[in-house]
């Protein structure tokens, strides 16, 4: 971490921290997903500790109208944008804006002096702009919005080191570990820093979702990355598989056995059994490797709580944020373990139901293909904030063609009451290695139909005028064909 503090991105974080410390009031503005919520709670805790009065506002996305409202706000408070803002940085100019964001932005948004490898900001651009792309890092893998907010919080006060947990939760929520099955780059430095201080435990373990909360047979049944032939999607087969390995499915008092309840011998038997199933079912060594990876445990939380492991924690935050309750998630990140947590658990149940209903809906309607892209339309049957999760799950499940990015559409109601089309687009690691950059493809395809869009290489989103879906798909197909040519 010392290396990070002494690097260019570290000194920029320290300079930004000074600006924030000099503010009399701050408005934190963030995104509604797990990374945005974690970033906002890092900012909010750091400000609280520095005794700087502040508000937190959450946005589903930043559009021109939202930027207008922030410009108005900036006459009264320093506006600190986390996990969003980079794509509007040329308008969020001057002394009254701070941006800590990892999204791709166009050259003009960054407004850097291209004649040098240093990030010299042009006078009209945001003066306090921390984005990994400006410092030679990847915003897809190396650091997330909450990692950046954490670097700034450390610059504000070294005591903020306990917020490191949230930096990891945000990175995992944005799936920044998915390429290498562990965090890398600046994220790895942050994780190491947290481990040294006993805040995080890094473990090489099964990488499936639900190791703390799901009965083990469900853990296996729902596993889609990798697919386990004969087990994924088949509950009774999972029960038989575990019985054949002499794994008790429940404890003496009848509680279902979870991964976190097993001893190391039992875990090893299951991992060996799963590997064998993959290979026997025609999988390759690479699929077996994806079973395992680095996972991040928070020793301060109870065993069996979704707050104990980063991926489950992130999902809990997403279930609040993507169901219009980001403030609830903020309270949990900041330490509330009472009513906020109870309410979040009930949202998590609703979230799971919504996802399962949405997947069934898309299965019924079917997924179409246009050239190099696949697409489905949820109309008003699925929340616009959930469509991206569905797109990602379908692509990862092998149910649809993994060699073509998938676009999910839904109708969204804008702040002004008008209806628009929300598009969520997901690609695969493999396609990104071959040249896919969804951030730029989606941005230009959206602009060609008078919409807006952006995001990351592997995951992007757009807001489009009603009725422009076909033209958007055609433009996106053309862009992606160019990238993959």
Instruction: Point out which residues bind ligand C5P (CB under 6 A).
Output: 31, 33, 35-36, 61, 83, 103, 174-175, 178, 388, 392, 424, 426, 452-456, 458-463
CA gap 91, 69 in Å, rounded: 12
Binding segment (CB under 5 A) for Zn ion, from list 15-23, 120-128, 145-153, 297-305: 145-153
Q: By beta-carbon distance, which residue lies closest to ligand C5P?
A: 461
CA gap 176, 146 in Å, rounded: 12
CA atoms within 13 A on the CB side of 227: 17
Q: What is the largest CA-CA distance in the chain?
A: 69
From the list Zn ion, ligand C5P, none, which binds 221 (C-beta under 5 to 8 Å, kind-based)? none
CA gap 281, 230 in Å, rounded: 8
CA gap 146, 39 in Å, rounded: 4
Binding segment (CB under 5 A) for Zn ion, from list 144-152, 181-189, 201-209, 324-332: 144-152
Binders of Zn ion in range 157-186 (CB under 5 A): 174
What are 7's two structure tokens?
Answer: 């690097």
Nearer residue to Zn ion within complex by CB, 145 or 453: 145
Instruction: Give the residues across from 423 on adjacent strands.
Output: 409, 462
Nearer residue to ligand C5P within complex by CB, 182 or 456: 456
CA gap 444, 449 in Å, rounded: 9
Q: How far is the CB of 461 from ligand C5P (least distance, A)?
A: 2
Q: How far is the CB of 427 from Zn ion (least distance, A)?
A: 17
Nearest to 13 by CA among 111, 98, 122, 96: 98
Q: Could you give the C-alpha distances from 173 to 54, 170, 299, 351, in angstroms and in order?
A: 25, 5, 19, 15
From the list ligand C5P, Zn ion, none, which binds 463 (C-beta under 5 to 8 Å, kind-based)? ligand C5P
Choice from 9, 17, 35, 260 touching Zn ion (CB under 5 A): 35
Binders of Zn ion in range 210-269 (CB under 5 A): none
Nearer residue to Zn ion within complex by CB, 83 or 189: 83
Q: How far is the CB of 192 from ligand C5P (least distance, A)?
A: 22
**Burial classification of residue 479, based on how many CB atoms lie within 10 Å of its CB (0-12 exposed, 13-18 middle, 19 or more buried):** buried
Q: Does 140 bind Zn ion (CB under 5 A)?
A: no
Q: Does 101 bind Zn ion (CB under 5 A)?
A: no
Q: Which residues of this chain interact with Zn ion, rule CB under 5 A?
A: 35, 83, 144-145, 174
């Amino acid at each position: 971490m010392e290396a990070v503090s002494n690097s260019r991105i570290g000194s920029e974080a320290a300079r930004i921290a000074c600006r924030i410390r000099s503010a009399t009031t701050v408005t934190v503005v963030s995104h509604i997903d797990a990374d945005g919520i974690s970033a906002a709670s890092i900012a909010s805790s750091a400000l609280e500790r520095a005794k700087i009065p502040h508000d937190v506002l959450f946005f589903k996305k930043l559009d021109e109208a939202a930027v207008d409202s922030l410009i108005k706000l900036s006459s009264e408070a320093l506006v600190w944008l986390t996990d969003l803002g980079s794509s509007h940085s040329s308008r969020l100019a001057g002394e009254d804006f701070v941006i800590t964001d990892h999204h791709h932005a166009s050259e003009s948004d960054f407004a850097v002096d291209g004649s040098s490898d240093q990030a010299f900001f042009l006078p009209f651009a945001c003066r306090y702009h921390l984005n990994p792309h400006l410092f030679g890092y990847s915003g897809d893998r190396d650091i997330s919005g909450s990692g950046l907010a954490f670097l700034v919080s450390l610059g504000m006060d070294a005591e903020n080191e306990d917020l490191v947990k949230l930096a990891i939760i945000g990175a995992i929520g944005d799936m920044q570990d998915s390429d290498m099955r562990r965090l890398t780059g600046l994220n790895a430095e942050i994780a190491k820093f947290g481990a040294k201080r006993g805040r995080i435990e890094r473990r090489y373990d099964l990488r499936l979702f639900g190791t703390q909360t799901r009965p083990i047979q469900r853990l296996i049944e729902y596993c889609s990355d990798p697919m386990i032939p004969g087990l994924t999607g088949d509950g009774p087969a999972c029960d038989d598989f575990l019985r054949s390995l002499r794994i008790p499915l429940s404890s003496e008092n009848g509680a279902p056995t979870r991964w976190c309840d097993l001893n190391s011998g039992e875990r090893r038997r299951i991992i060996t059994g799963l590997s064998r199933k993959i290979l026997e079912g025609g999988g390759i060594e690479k699929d077996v490797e994806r079973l395992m990876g680095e996972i991040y445990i928070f020793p301060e939380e109870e065993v069996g709580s979704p707050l104990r492991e980063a991926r489950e924690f992130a999902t809990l935050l997403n279930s609040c944020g993507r169901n219009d309750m980001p403030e609830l998630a903020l309270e949990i990140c900041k330490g509330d373990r009472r009513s906020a947590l109870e309410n979040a658990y009930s949202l998590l149940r609703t979230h799971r139901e919504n996802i399962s209903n949405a997947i069934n809906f898309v299965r019924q309607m079917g997924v179409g293909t246009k050239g190099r892209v696949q697409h489905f339309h949820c109309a008003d049957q699925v929340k616009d904030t959930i469509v991206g999760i569905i797109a990602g799950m379908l692509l990862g499940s092998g149910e649809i063609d993994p060699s073509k990015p998938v676009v999910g559409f839904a109708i969204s109601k804008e702040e002004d009451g008008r209806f628009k089309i929300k598009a969520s687009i997901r690609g695969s690691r493999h396609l990104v290695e071959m040249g896919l950059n969804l951030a730029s493809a989606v941005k230009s395809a959206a602009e060609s139909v008078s919409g807006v869009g952006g995001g990351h290489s592997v995951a992007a989103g757009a807001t489009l005028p009603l009725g422009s879906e076909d033209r958007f798909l055609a433009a996106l197909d053309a862009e992606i064909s160019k990238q993959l040519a």
